Amino acid sequence: MSGTGLGCLSRSRLVRRIAGAALAIGLCSAGVQSASALTFVIDFKEVAQGTTADMFGAEATNFNVTSYGFAAGDYALVTSSIIAALEQDFRGIVTSGFNVLSPIPDGQELDIDFVIGDIGGGASNGDTDFYYVQVGSSVSDSFLGQACLGCVRGNPFGAVGAVVASIFTDNINALGGVGAALTSGDLLATTNAITGTLSHEIGHTLDLEHCYKAGSVTDNGNAPLLGTGALDMPNADRLLDREFSFSCNLNFSGTQTQNSVQTLVTNLGLRDAPDSVTELPEPAMGAVFGLGLLGMAAMRRRARRAA
């Protein structure tokens, strides 16, 4: 769940981006974002904001990055990494051309957006269908996070603009069984631990339930994002990349299952991915490659003349 670099990309996006860069021509089609896209406004709490509460009354105050081993000046670095990883969890899900289990066609992604903002300030992207998630230290609660089940999509009952989830960074920081990973300035571990909880709780608001790690099916074999320590997921998995599952068990016997990716597709819908590459038939691709070679030859000839 790395926030930057090719390592955080799904295989489909990685291949598409490499192909686009190698050809260096205008094959990329602009992504068309639906006007009805759902936006989550992520409020990383700062000292100046004071305390806010979610729809259940759970309060959060400032997100102290120094407790994770970072300097206070690294606040933007940490929060930007978390947002990038959150976007990857939802919009970087592998497509059907790279995994037949995926219900998402190539060139498309979930119709959802994320922005950083303060509770009460609205969505900076102008979306009118938005909800808040507060991320900061807990005032009195001991859990890692909480959210309403299906209140945004699935069985909606949360009002637009409600604070539908909380992520308590101090409780995540104090997790046992993870050594010094969350106190030593480890950006990857910190990003994975906080983003995993953030994606998990947002998943709840979109009608996803807890599921077992055992028997789950994900694209890369990682633990499911809806896994939990209350069932069978060890805390050490929180330091690693996790994914929404194509299948996971909702009960120990496995008689109830959940396809988290399909539920997200059903409840969010799809849109064109902004970095999708137009697929060309093989002869056309050969012609494009030939044009690229001609261009390279022309540049070499010009270089010789200049020499």
Q: What is the CATH number of the domain that holds 225?
A: 3.40.390
Q: Is the dihedral of CA 184, 82, 150, 223 positive or negative?
A: negative
In a domain, 232, yes or no: yes
pLDDT at 44: 98
- 193 and 286 housed in the same domain: no
pLDDT at 306: 36
CA distances from 265 to 13, 164, 188, 244, 262 (A): 18, 20, 28, 12, 5
Half-sphere exposure for 107 (CA within 13 Å, toward CB): 9
- 190 and 247 housed in the same domain: yes
- 16 and 30 housed in the same domain: yes
- 201 and 84 housed in the same domain: yes
Backbone angles phi, psi at 254, to 5 degrees: 80, 15
- 286 and 271 housed in the same domain: no
CA distances from 53 to 132, 146, 203, 210 (A): 11, 12, 20, 24
- 223 and 303 housed in the same domain: no
In a domain, 102, yes or no: yes
Cα distance between residue 114 and residue 80, in whole Å = 11
Rg of the chain taking only CA atoms, in angstroms: 21
Cα torsion 9, 231, 185, 72 to 10°: value is: 100
**What's the structural domain count of the chain?**
2
- 99 and 226 housed in the same domain: yes
pLDDT at 285: 43
* Residue 2 CB neighbour total at 10 angstroms: 18
pLDDT at 276: 55
- 203 and 245 housed in the same domain: yes
Domain that holds residue 307: 282-307
Check: pTM over 0.85? Answer yes or no.
no
- 242 and 286 housed in the same domain: no
Cα angle for residues 169, 172, 173 (degrees, 5° grid): 85
230 close to 210: Cβ distance less than 8 angstroms: yes
User: Can you point out the beta strands (E) in the chain?
Assistant: 38-44, 52-53, 59-61, 108-110, 112-116, 130-138, 145-147, 163-168, 248-249, 257-258, 270-272
pLDDT at 117: 96
- 221 and 268 housed in the same domain: yes
In a domain, 1, yes or no: no
- 97 and 142 housed in the same domain: yes
- 87 and 106 housed in the same domain: yes
Burial class (CB in 10 A: 0-12, 13-18, 19+), 100: exposed
Q: Give the H/E segment covering residue 260.
A: helix 260-268
pLDDT at 7: 30
Q: What is the full per-residue pLDDT of the chain (307 aa) written as tens digits?
A: 333 332 333 333 333 333 333 333 333 333 334 445 899 999 999 989 999 999 999 999 999 999 999 999 999 999 999 999 999 999 999 999 999 999 999 999 999 999 999 999 999 999 999 999 999 999 999 999 999 999 999 888 889 999 999 999 999 999 998 989 999 999 999 999 999 999 999 999 999 999 999 999 999 999 999 999 999 999 999 999 999 999 999 987 778 999 999 999 999 999 999 865 444 444 544 444 444 444 444 443 333 333 3
In a domain, 25, yes or no: yes
Which residue, 209, 134, 207, is CA-closest to 167?
134
pLDDT at 158: 84
- φ/ψ bin of 109: left (φ > 0), alpha (ψ from -120 to 50), beta (otherwise): beta
256 close to 250: Cβ distance less than 8 angstroms: yes
β-pairing, 59-61 vs 163-168, is unpaired
Q: Give the H/E segment covering residue 240.
A: none
